[in-house]
Amino acid sequence: MPLLIVGCFGITLFMKSSPAHRTALYPGTFDPMTLGHLDILKRASRLCDKLVVAVAINRSKNPLFALSERVEMVENVVAPFRERIDVEVLPFEGLLIHFVESVGANMIVRGLRAVSDFEYEFQMAGMNDRLNPDIETVFLMADPQYQTIASRLVKEIARLGGDVSQFVTPEVEIRLKDKYT
C-alpha cells in the first residue's frame, strides 16, 4: 500500500522500498522546457544519485520543436548539474514504466501545479504501481512563482510576440523567437 505524505514542500507518494542507490527519472515533452520544469529538475536532483531526464515522443501532440531540438535544449539546461550528480538526457516513446525499467530507475518524479494535475498524476502513479510496485512516484509541488507556467501558454505568448523571458531560459527564449519570426 502506498504512503502519501503531504508537506510544505510537496506531496510524496512513497511505494514499498527505499533502495540505497536512487535513480530518478523525470519525464516530459519539454516543448519547450520552462523555468517550472527547471525548478522540478533542480529539486529532483537533490533526491537521487542519478537523474534521467526523459524527453517524450508523444504522437498525440504536435510539438513546436523537433525531438533533437528538445533533447539539445534539455542537455544545455542540465549541464551545470553534472558537476554534482550523474545526469542523463534520453528520448523515449512508449509506456513510461517500461522506459523506467529499461534505464534502471527506481523513482519517477512528477511536478504538480494544481489540484487538476494531482488527480491525473495520482491515477497514473497508481497504474504504474500496479505495473511495477518497486518503482516509486514522487510528486513535487511547483514553486508558487512557477505554478501558472505551461509550455503551451509560453508558446502562445511567444507566437503573439510577447515577452517570455520570465518563463524560460535565455536559450529557449531565443529559440522561440527564431521559430516565430
Residues belonging to the active site: 37, 61, 113, 151
Answer whether residue 157 shows pLDDT above 80. Answer: yes
Report pLDDT digits (tens) over 8-41. Answer: 445 555 544 455 689 999 999 999 999 999 999 9
**Domain at 3-147, CATH from 3.40.50.300, 3.40.50.720, 3.40.50.620, 3.80.30.20:** 3.40.50.620
Q: Does 96 carry a binding-site annotation? A: yes
Predicted TM-score (pTM) of the model is 0.88
- Do 76 and 33 meet the contact criterion of CB atoms below 8 Å apart? no
Domain ranges for the chain, please list them.
3-147
The three cell numbers locating residue 22? 536512487
Q: Does 21 carry a binding-site annotation? A: no
Q: Which of 112, 118, 63 is nearest to 91 (CA)?
A: 63
CB within 8 Å of 174: residues ≥ 6 apart: none
Strands 86-92 and 3-7, by their bridges, are: unpaired
Q: Does 113 carry a binding-site annotation? A: yes
Q: Does 169 carry a binding-site annotation? A: no
- Do 32 and 59 meet the contact criterion of CB atoms below 8 Å apart? no
Q: Which of 169, 165, 166, 160 is nearest to 179 (CA)?
A: 160
